[in-house]
Structure 1
Amino acid sequence: MVSLKLLLSSLAVGCLPSALARSSPEYPDDLTVNTHTGIYTGLRNENYTGVREFRNIPFAQPPVRKLRWQPPVALPHSNAHHYSTRFPPSCPQFVSGSKSLWNQFLPSLMPNNGENGNQTNQVAQTSSEDCLSLAIWTPYGVKRNAKLPVLFFITGGGFQSGGIEIPSQLPAQWVHRSRSHIVVTINYRVNIFGFPNAAALKYPNLGILDQRMALEWVAANIDRFGGDPKAITLWGQSAGAESVDYQLFSYWEEPIARAAFIQSGTALVPLKSVDYEHANFTYVAKHVGCDFPSDAAAELECMQQVPYPQLINFINTHTSTKKILFGPIADEKVCFSNYTKQAAKGKMARIPAIISNCAKETASLSGWPENPVAGFDNEKILQGTLKTWVCTTADTCKLRSSLNAPTYRYQFAGNFSNLAQLPWMGAFHASDLFMNFGTYELPSNPTEHEAAVSQAMQDHILAFARDALNGAKKMGWEPYNYGSSVIRFGGSNGKVVQKVSGYEIDGPCYGNGTYDMSP
């Protein structure tokens, strides 16, 4: 396992001493924090004045030139001052030109792409290789060492896209409402930049290493923002959820986090890449002028000099029938080929976890239907929802149960018309993010019931984050075993929260009963 400990040197690269930064009226104490790697002045959220934001704090050196496709490198100690009032660019990614349910109806689920919009068929305008940053939301006025629980969030995007500035996933509303927790969101390298799988590289899963270094930075510095480094919940959605689960296996002896929230995705979802011959990287290299079929080192050195937009645009617009996909691949260090065997060896962090699904996950993951009103074939949505999402979650829960790792299960079943804007969409993949973050007003006017569901979900998650062993139980949420109760939020019967039998959800995975996508 590669070591990603924060190596903080004594080098001071700044020109502004910390004492001056703290005393100057330009850097007010309530908005300025001195970290190991710099002094950062954030802002007070205009709409949620109970929230302090630090929108751009680098956690690693820019992965450019010779550092492209290398494990993240820790920043040196610094007393330099920085304003942290603008979000960083996302890591290099492509903005599709094809229609999707998200870019047509729910652009707030996509990374901000500036004035170019969400259907450009080219590299994202707001992306850059210098992207390894995180953002922090705290209650305004919180003091250092307040020991608030910390939710460390990893965004989804299929390991192809994602980032901090996704409107539906900005947590100001939730932090303002609770005034008692902190949220951190990170950028990490994706697609070919995060998962290059080049023959000359020792570590193909760089995006996961980025996530780990960000987590280490938070553990070393979050007390200065009022957080408790011993009360971190590692949380991710979709690809972010898979990433969280990967880390419970790769860093099983030292997970850093005391709890996990694994939302719509686990390590048992099949890995995105099986390209063990490194063919995809070599294919791209050949077509951008780096054709070194017998010299992997020369191929890599040449590729490190190709402008990143050229790489991103080629991968996503080439006309060959060859499918080029870059994502996590089993290296038996960061990602494994058989997680059941890893669990059988006891090599999984046995920290408490929430594991969740949406009732109709696959509805939003099938592109654009020929007839938007009629939608996709319901049987295909059902089978995709079960095979990729629900049943891998059920199997993950069984693995965790075999190791006596406390697991709390929920299903989101909210079918709200401002989110599911076509009648067949239901509780689609990522729809519960609006509930978690309290951003349900973004698509259009929500109902009171929708707001109540959001608040209930926030309260259950925060109870768990505050006390991973007993907080959920105090909410009436019992640890899950096959057949025991699952919490359902927003079901069709009008209830905000209810307990349902686990057999109702997981039974179809094992040949028992019929799965209901609109419960």
Structure 2
Amino acid sequence: MQFRTSHALAALSALGNLVIQDSYAFPSSAIVETENGAVSGFADTSAPSVTQFLGIPYGEPPVGSQRWLPAQPKKAFGSLKATARRPSCPQTDPPTLGGAWAPEFLIKPNTTSEDCLYLNVWAPSNSQQESSGLLPVVVWIHGGGFGAGSNDIAYQTPTQWVERSQRHIVVGINYRLGLFGFPNAAGLDPKEQNLGLLDQRLAVEWVRDNIARFGGDPKRVVLWGQSAGAASVSYYQYAYSEDPVAIGFIKNSGSPFIPIGTADTTHSSFSSLAAAFGCQGADELDCLRNVPFRDLQKYLDRAGNLTFNVVVDERTKFSDYAERTLDGKVAKGPAIVGSTRDEWNFNSNSPPPPSDGSDVHADNLFGCPAHYETGLRNIAGLKSYRYMYSSNFSNIMPGGQGAFHSAELPLIFGTHDIARENSTQFEYDVSHEMQDLWLAFVQDPVDGLTDSGWDATPLGGLNTTQTGIDIDKDTHPRITSQLQNQMNMNNKKIPETIPNSKDITNNTTEATQPLSPEDKARKWILFYDILVQHVPKHLHVMCCRIMLDLAPEFGMEPEVNKSESITESEMEAVEVEKPENPDD
């Protein structure tokens, strides 16, 4: 629903290459007619040019007999005052970071309910329409290891970003977590165990069917997630490759290859929980559906040793992502794939990193999977943009955690200044540049970043440099040799448990006739799979390093002009072109 206005915004100077058609505004009490009913939004003094629609239901409450079943689309509700956030989904106690997470990264206490399938919409009140008359849309999928998180997190609220840009719409979604989203129960359909992932698809379908009424373009949707949210975006690309709805994908610190999930084929966690409440046998599910969710959650918090996470169901999560990528069974949209320098510094309750250093463990969890995924995407001809976030702003998280897991989010959302000491001007500059880069991708996933000075990784083969952007506290975002910069293991001892790589290569690459480039790529993938099966999981990052070093053995040297590639000795900072008024 659109309302004419004569207002203009100074934020238009950030990216000025769009065709402006007209402007429109939501009044402070805007009412939008969705397919399910009328929702009324609001604007407040903190972001007067953003109309917020909070707590819109996209699915029927998964409660009672519907607990542990795929959610159904929301039925008609008449009218709804969408002016307050709704409950977060049930979840475990939050993790700690350096003793305690900053509260701005957490949900508010006592705000959970099984009736949690809601989404929020943040739309510009004084928007500058593009030539299509509609704005691009970002669907934000929060992280939290599939056991925590919400669309109600202070640091992950996009109001200030939308206020500044006036050129995009953001939708934040809830989805079921832990026991309620990923039960892995014997009595359930094997294809309906990852209920949280199915919730995400239902929310995306709601966006497809309703976002035009808010001024958004259903044909220009980008999915963005961090950590488990980024893994979710990756899983989604394969699960809905034929009908992705989205045309671009942003993955902060997550990929389909991160070591997350459970392989418990005996369903022991669910059965143990059921037994604790006297529920056993054939009626295990129905019996446990009668137990209040808070009682179940309290027991899980005390027990601490039961795992409820994503499982391979060959519907929403697959066992063969490498093969699927090479076979083209993945959504074809461009992707941003990134990580932070100090990923490991996010959970003091986790086991200590190996003696090689926390950066090695962080590479194992996030860096190596990101490189592996990008290499596969390059082979498959899928456009990818790589980044490393290296900044460290103490007002975001006290305690000297560095560029920890999720540290970049307050910069992108524009919430870095909501707690503790004030942000510096440089912090605002970095925030605005990151916002502009993300917005450039959202507006045009194919060419937006290239036009902003951020080149995609070269296609057609394994790109062993994976050129990307390094977002560092001491410099503006710069082009750098991303892979060599992050994965340089020269100063670390390769553990003796890794087999001699040259011997493995000799045994693996023997062939009676020349291999095609595609066959070489598949052999490289097979070699990686074999290698990681012979070493402990915490050393898989070393396998990644060996794989990259051995890429030429498989004929996978990237075909790029040597004079144009950036070598490790030439990693001089190259500033990304900045807008004329970076403070706007």
TM-score, normalised with respect to structure 2 = 0.75
Matches of 1:103 and 1:34, distance apart in 2: 46
- The answer as to 2:396 corresponding to 1:419 is yes
CA deviation map 1:102-141 (0-9, x unaligned): 773511011122xxxxxxxxxxx11001100000001114
- Residue type matched to 2:413 in 1? F
**Residue 125 of structure 2 is aligned with which of 127, 140, 150?**
140
Q: Secondary structure at the match of 1:192?
A: helix
Offset of 1:30 from its aligned partner? Answer: 5.7
SS at match of 2:56: strand
Matching of residues 337-356 of structure 1 within 5 Å:
337-356=319-338
For the residue of structure 1 that corresponds to 2:344, the secondary structure is: helix
The partner residue of 1:302 within 266, 287, 292 is 287
Q: How does 1:230-379 map to 2 (within 5 A)?
A: 230-292=219-281, 295=282, 298-318=283-303, 323-367=305-349, 379=356
The answer as to 2:437 corresponding to 1:438 is: no
Work out which of the residue numbers 108, 113, 122 in structure 2 matches 1:112: 108
1:4 equivalent in structure 2? none
Residue correspondence of structure 1 range 26-41 to structure 2 within 5 A = 31-41=30-40
Q: Secondary structure at the match of 2:365?
A: helix
1:187 is aligned to 2:174: yes
- 1:258 and 1:347 mapped to 2: Cα distance? 15
Show the 5 A alignment for 1:385-424.
Answer: 385-423=362-400
Q: Distance in 2 between matches of 1:75 and 1:318?
A: 34
2:165 paired with 1:178: yes
Contact 1:154 1:185 (8 Å CA) reproduced? yes
Maintained 8 Å contact 1:350/1:403: no
Cα distance in 1 for partners of 2:150, 2:113 equals 11
In the alignment, residue 202 of structure 2 is paired with which amino acid? M
Write the deviation string for residues 227-261 of structure 1: whole angstroms up to 9, x where unpaired: 00011001101110000000001111111101000
Candidates 167, 175, 197, aligned match of 2:184: 197
Distance in 2 (CA, whole Å) between partners of 1:103 and 1:93 is: 20
Alpha-carbon distance in structure 2 between the residues aligned to 1:58 and 1:75: 7
Per the alignment, residue 101 of structure 1 pairs with 97
In 1, distance between residues paired with 2:429 and 2:353?
30
Deviations 1:168-203 (A, max 9, x none): 000001000001110000000000000001111111
| Separation of aligned partners in 1, 2:319 and 2:161 | 37
Distance in 1 separating the partners of 2:288 and 2:128? 47
Please tell me whether the aligned partners of residues 102 and 109 of structure 1 are also in contact (alpha carbons under 8 angstroms): no
Looking at structure 2, the residues matched to 506 and 249 of structure 1 have their Cα atoms a distance apart, in angstroms, of 27
Identity of aligned residues (%): 36
Select 2:442's aligned residue among 450, 465, 483: 465
The answer as to whether partners of 2:54 and 2:119 remain within 8 angstroms in 1 is: yes
The yes-or-no answer on 1:127 pairing with 2:125 is: no
CA–CA distance in structure 1, aligned partners of residues 81 and 128 of structure 2: 20
1:60/1:390 Cα in 2 relative to 1: closer, same or farther (>3 Å)? Answer: same
The equivalent of 2:86 in structure 1 is 88
Task: Give the SS at the match of 2:457.
Answer: coil
The answer to whether the aligner puts 1:154 opposite 2:141 as a matched pair is yes
Displacement of 1:143 after TM fit?
Answer: 9.4
Aligned residues, how many?
461
* Deviation for aligned residue 1:299: 0.8
Q: What does 1:218-237 correspond to in 2, within 5 Å?
A: 218-237=207-226
- Which range is displaced more, 267-276 or 209-218? 267-276
1:212 to 168, 192, 201: 201
| Alignment match, 2:486 | 505
1:495 alignment counterpart: 475
In structure 2, do the counterparts of structure 1 residues 472 and 275 end up closer, same or farther at CA, with 3 Å as the change threshold? same
What is the aligned partner in structure 2 of residue 447 from structure 1?
424
Worse-matched range after superposition: 131-140 or 45-54: 45-54
Q: 1:137 & 1:76 partners in 2: Cα distance?
A: 23
Q: Answer whether contact 1:105 1:421 (CA < 8 A) is retained.
A: no
Structure 2 CA distance, aligned partners of 1:69 and 1:93? 15
Distance in 1 (CA, whole Å) between partners of 2:27 and 2:179 is 41
Letter in 2 for 1:467: D
Cα root mean square deviation, aligned: 2.3
Q: Is the CA contact (8 Å cut-off) linking 2:187 and 2:285 kept in structure 1? A: yes
Q: CA–CA distance in 2 between the matches of 1:95 and 1:510?
A: 36
- Quick one: which amino acid aligns to residue 56 of structure 2? I
The one-letter code matched in structure 2 to 1:232 is V
Give SS of 1:409's match: strand
Please say if residues 365 and 429 of structure 1, whose CA atoms lie closer than 8 Å, have aligned partners that are also in contact.
Answer: no
- Per-residue CA deviations over 1:47-104 (Å, capped at 9, x if unaligned) read 01111100110001000111110011012345x11100110100111225x7x22773
Correspondence for 2:452 among 464, 475, 478: 475
* Structure 1 unaligned residues grouped into runs of 5+: 1-17, 19-26, 114-124, 370-374
Once the two structures are TM-superposed, the CA of residue 347 in structure 1 deviates from its matched residue by 1.0
Query: 1:268 and 1:32 mapped to 2: Cα distance?
Result: 43
Larger gyration radius, structure 1 or structure 2: 2
Alpha carbons 2:28, 2:43 under 8 Å: kept:
no
8 Å CA contact 2:29–2:41 kept in 1: the answer is no
Deviations along 1:135-161, one digit per CA (max 9) or x if unpaired, are 000111459984111110000111111
> Quick one: distance in 2 between partners of 1:368 and 1:192?
20
Counterparts of 1:470 and 1:368, CA distance in 2: 40
Q: Assess if the C-alpha contact under 8 Å between 1:271 and 1:329 holds in 2.
A: no
Who is 1:7 aligned against? none
Query: Offset of 1:281 from its aligned partner?
Result: 0.6
